[in-house]
Chain A
Amino acid sequence: MAKVLETLLAIVGGVGGALLLYYLLNKVAELLPARVEAGIKPYLYILPAVAAIGLFLIYPAIQTVVFSFANKTSTRFVGFGNYAGLLTSPGFQLTLINTVLWIVIVPTVTVAIGLGIAVLADRLAPRGEKIAKTLIFLPMAISGVGAVAIWKFIYFYAPPGQPQIGLQNAIATGLGFDPIAWLQIDTAKLNSLMLMIILIWAQAGFSMVLLSAAVKGVPEDTIEAARIDGCGERLVFFRIIVPQIRATIVTVFITVLISVMKTFDIVYVATNGGFGTNIVAVDFYNQLFTNGNAGYAAAIVVLLMIAVLPVMIYQVRQFRAQEAAR
C-alpha cells in the first residue's frame, strides 16, 4: 500500500512539477520585453532537457573518460595504463572477439529472420498473419533474465542417469547419446552461439514488426509491374521489395546492433562470462563490482563508446538523408 502511494505521489509530483516548471519558465519569459521574450522562449523550453542531459549524460561521460586514465580507486592518474593492461590481457582479447561476433551475427540474423517472417506472413490470411506475428512478437515482452530462465530449460544439463529436464538433452538421451553440457562447449564458439540465439529470439519480433510495416508499404503497382515484366518471386523480393525498404532494414540493423553492444543480462545470468563467453558489458560489470577496479571499468566503457560512435553517426546521417529525401 505504501509503495502504491509512493508511486502515485512520484507520478503526480513528477508530472505536476514538470508542468509547473514550464509554466513558471513561461511566466519568467513573459516578464521580459516582448522582443526578447520571443527570442528567448524556445531556449527556455529546451533548457530543462539540455540541463538534464548535461547533468546525467554528458557530465558522467566526461567523468568516465577521466577515470579511465586513473587507478582502481580513481585516486591517482596512471596514463594509458588501464588501456594497455586491458588490451594486452588474453582474457579481454577473447572478450573483444566474442563481442565482435555478437555484433556481426545477432543483428544480421535478426534482420534476416524478421524480414523472412514479415514477407511470408504477408501472404497468410489476415487471421493467420495476426496469430503468427503475435507469437513471434511475444518474446519481446520478456526480459533478458526471464529469457535465459526459459532457455535454460532447453540447454539444461544433468549428469547421465538423472532425469534430463532440458529439451536438447532429452532429445540427445532419447536418441541414445550421452547428455551434453551445452553451455560449456566453446569449440567453434558453440556456447556463445547458443546465447546469441536467446537474444535473436527476443529481438526477432521487433525486427519483424518494423519490416512487416515496411513490406506492406511497398506500392503494389511496382510489384505488379515487375510480375507483368516476367519477374519470378525471388527477383521481386530482391530487386523490388528489398531496395524499397532498405532504409528500414538499416534502421532495424543498427537498433539491434546498438542493443547487442549493450547486452549484459543474458550472458551474466547464463554463464557470467565463463567458458569463454565473456562480452564487454559483463566484463565491465565484473571489473567495477567484483574487482572494485573503477579504472578498468571506465576504460572498457570508453572503448565501447568509441565503438558505438561511428554507428550512431551513421544512423543520424541515414536519418537525415531519409528526411531530406522526403
Chain B
Amino acid sequence: MRMRRVVPQIAVVAATAMLSTACLAASPSDTAGSGGGVGSGGTPPGDKQVEILFGFGGDQTRGFEAGFADFTKRTGITIKFSEASAFDTLIRTRVAGNSTPDIALFPQPGILLDIAKSGKLADMSKVVDLDKLKTTLVPGELQAATGSDGVVYGVPAAMNVKSLVFYDKAAFAAAGYTVPKTQDELTALTARIKASGTTPWCLGIESSSATGWPATDWIEDYVLRIGGPQIYDKWVKHQIPFNDPIVKQAGEAFQAMALADGNVLGGRAAVASTNFQTAGNPLFTPKPGCYLFKQGNFITQKGFFPDSVRATIDQTVGVFQFPGKTADDLPVLGGGDIAAAFNGADPDTRAVLDFMLSPQFNGGTAEGGWLSPHKTFDVNQYPDALTKQIAQIGYTASTFRFDGSDQMPGEVGSGTFWKEMTAWIAGSEDLDKALSNIDASWPANS
C-alpha cells in the first residue's frame, strides 16, 4: 500500500525537475577546432543538409538560390539559405554562441580573418583544391582572405568591381567627350566639362549607418594608383602608417578631381548627405547634372539607377575603367563575397563548396547583377553588354586588389575610415587631421 503513494510522489518531483531544467538543456555544443584545422561547426556531417549564411538580399538572394537548383536535385543535398540583414552582427553572435552555419559568405575579409582567430574556420587548402582554383580566380581575392599565419580561410564565390566610372552614352557623345585612358586625360576631361558650365562629377557618400564608405573607395583607388600594389598592401595591413604621405597624396588627388569647387554637383557640402544609390541619377536627366559617376558595378541594380535607364541599359549607360597613370596601367579595386567553411570535414559542405566555388557556378547573373570571380566564366551568361564589359575589366586587370576598408579591422574599416572621411568631406576637419585620427584609431594587437 505504501508503494502506491511513493510512486506518484517521485513522479511529481521528477516532473518538476524536468520542467524547470528543460529550458536550460542546451544541445551539447562542439568544441572549437584548433587553428588551421577544418572546423567542426554547422550541421552534423553526412546529413545531406548544409546551411549557408550571407548578407545580401532581394534579387541577389533569389539569383543565388536559383544557382543551386540543379545541384540540389542532382545530389539530394538540402541547402538552408540564411539571409542575414545584419551579417556582421549575426555571424559574430553565432560564432560566440557556438551555433555556426556550415558556410558563411563574408563581404569583408577583415571580419573573416578576425573570426578565423577563434579557430573555428576551416583551412581552405584542406577543403577545396586551392591550386586548381588559383589558375582561374581573379588574383588578389584569395590574398585578402589569407591570415597572417599564411592560411587561406576563404575563397570568393562572387566578385564585384569598383574602379568604374559610369556615364550617359548619348550625353557624352553629344558633348563630344571621349573616354579618358589615363589620369591626366581624366583630369583634362574634368576641366573641359567644368569649362562648359556643367559640374563634371556626381558623388554621394550617404549610406545611413555606413555613411562614408564610397569615399574610402576613392582613396583606395588612388593609393593603388599613386603608391602601387605593394604600398597598398602595406597600408591595408598597417605596416605603414595610415597617414603616410602617399595616402595624403591620394586624398589630395581625390579632392582635386571630385571635390574642388565646381567639380561636383551640389558642391562639396552636399556630398556627405547625398545618398550613394541615387547620386548618379543626374547623369541621365535631359540636361545632365553631371557627366561622370564613379561607383561599383552593383549600382546598376534595381532601385539604384532609374528604371527607365535600366530598361535600355546597353543603349544608355556607358562605363570605363577608372584610369591609371598610363594607358597600360589598369589596376582594379574590387570586392566579393568570400566563402568560409565552419564545417570543412562534412562531405556535404565540401560538395557545396566545390560546386559554388567552381567557374561553372552561376550565382544569379540575370537577377542580381552577380559576377563570377573566375576568369574562365562564360561571359555570355551575363545579361547585357555593360555587365559583360564590367566583368572583363575585372578579369583583365593588371592588378586586382580587394577593397582596403573591408580588409582593415572593424574599428577602422567600418568605423573611423568612414566617419573621418565624411567629416573631412563635410568640411569639419582637414585631411591631415582626418588621416591621423584614423591612424590613431588602429587597434593595438591584443
Stretch with Cβ within 8 A of A (4 or more), from B189-197, B209-217, B252-260: B209-217
User: With an 8 A cutoff between CB atoms, is A284 at the interface?
Assistant: no
Q: Name B's interface SS.
A: helix
Q: How far is the CA of A151 from the CA of B420 in the complex (A)?
A: 25
Specify which of A24, A31, A91, A275 is in contact with B15 (CB 8 Å cutoff): A24
Q: Does B247 contact A (CB under 8 A)?
A: no
Closest residue of chain A to B411, judged by CB? A291
1/0 contact trace for A60-76 toward B, CB 8 Å?
00000000000111001
Kindly state the separation between the CA atoms of A295 and B221 in the bound complex, as whole angstroms.
34
Distance to closest chain B CB from A76 (angstroms): 8
Q: When the two chains form their complex, are residues B274 and A21 in contact, meaning their CB atoms are under 8 A apart?
A: no
Q: Which among A100-108, A116-124, A126-134, A152-160 touches the partner chain?
A: A152-160
Chain A residues with Cβ under 8 A from B419's Cβ?
Answer: 273-274
Contact A184 B426 (CB under 8 A): yes
Contact A31 B266 (CB under 8 A): no
Q: Does A174 contact B (CB under 8 A)?
A: no
Asked whether any CB of chain B lies closer than 8 Å to the CB of A20, the reply is yes
Chain A residue at smallest Cβ distance from B95:
A292
Contact B446 A78 (CB under 8 A): yes
Q: Is B65 part of the contact surface with A, judged by Cβ < 8 Å?
A: no
Interface residue B59 (Cβ < 8 Å from any Cβ of A)? no
CA distance A10 to B347 in the complex (A): 35
| CB-CB nearest in chain A for B86 | A289
Q: What CA separation (Å) do A115 and B13 show in the bound complex?
A: 54
Q: Which A residue sits closest to B426, measured CB to CB?
A: A184
Across the interface, B20 reaches (CB within 8 A) one of A21, A273, A292, namely A21
Interface size on A, as a range, is: 35 or more
B405 smallest CB distance to A (angstroms): 12
Verify A275–B208 contact, CB threshold 8 A. Answer: no
B409 touches A291 (CB 8 A): yes
In the complex, what residues of B have CB within 8 A of residue A160's CB? 266-267, 270
B12 contacts partner chain A, Cβ-Cβ < 8 Å:
yes
B55 sits at the interface (CB 8 A): no
**Given the interface contacts A157-B273, A161-B266, A269-B208, does A71 sit within 8 Å of B446 by beta carbon?**
yes
Q: Which residues of A contact B410 (CB under 8 A)?
A: 290-292
- Given A159-B270, A274-B419 in contact, is the A28-B16 Cβ separation under 8 Å? yes
**Chain B residues, Cβ within 8 Å of A24:** 12, 15-16, 19
Per-residue CB contact flags for chain A residues 196-235 toward chain B (1 = under 8 Å, else 0) read 0000000000000000000000000000000000000000
- Specify which chain A residues have a CB less than 8 angstroms from the CB of B92 in the assembled complex: 288-289, 292
B234 at the interface (CB under 8 A from A): no
Q: What residues on A are CB-neighbors of B212 within 8 Å?
A: 274
B-chain residues with CB within 8 Å of residue A186 when the two chains form the complex: 428
Contact of B273 among A78, A184, A293 (CB under 8 A): A184
Q: Are B443 and A159 in contact (CB under 8 A)?
A: no
Within 425-446 of B, Cβ neighbours of A (below 8 Å) are at 426, 428, 441, 443, 446
**In the assembled complex, which residues on chain A have CB atoms less than 8 Å from the CB atom of B15?**
20, 24
Q: Are B269 and A291 in contact (CB under 8 A)?
A: no
Q: Does A286 make an interface contact (CB < 8 A)?
A: yes
Given contacts A17-B19, A274-B419, A292-B111, contact A159 B265 (CB under 8 A): yes
B422 contacts which chain A residues (CB < 8 A)?
274-275
Q: Is A315 an interface residue (CB 8 A)?
A: no
A274 to B434, CA, bound (A): 14
Q: Are B411 and A290 in touch, CB under 8 angstroms?
A: yes
Residue of B nearest to A160 (CB): B266
Contact A183–B9 (Cβ < 8 Å) = no
Closest Cβ of chain A to B377, distance in Å, is 33
Q: How many Å lie between the Cα of A17 and that of B19 in the bound state?
A: 7
Of B20, B22, B423, which contacts A48 at CB under 8 A? B20
* Smallest CB gap from B427: residue in A: A184
Q: Is A173 an interface residue (CB 8 A)?
A: no
Chain A window 289-302, contacts with chain B (Cβ cutoff 8 Å), 1 for yes, 0 for no: 11111000000000
Beyond A72-B443, A274-B418, 16 additional contacts (C-beta under 8 Å) are A17-B19, A21-B16, A24-B16, A28-B12, A78-B446, A157-B273, A159-B270, A161-B265, A181-B269, A181-B426, A184-B272, A269-B208, A271-B211, A289-B86, A291-B410, A293-B443
A residues near B, CB below 8 A? 17, 20-21, 24-25, 27-28, 31, 48, 51, 55, 71-73, 76, 78, 91, 157-162, 181, 183-184, 186, 268-269, 271-275, 286, 288-293
Which 7 A-B residue pairings sit nearest by Cβ, starting from the closest? A159-B266, A272-B209, A159-B270, A181-B273, A24-B16, A291-B410, A289-B89
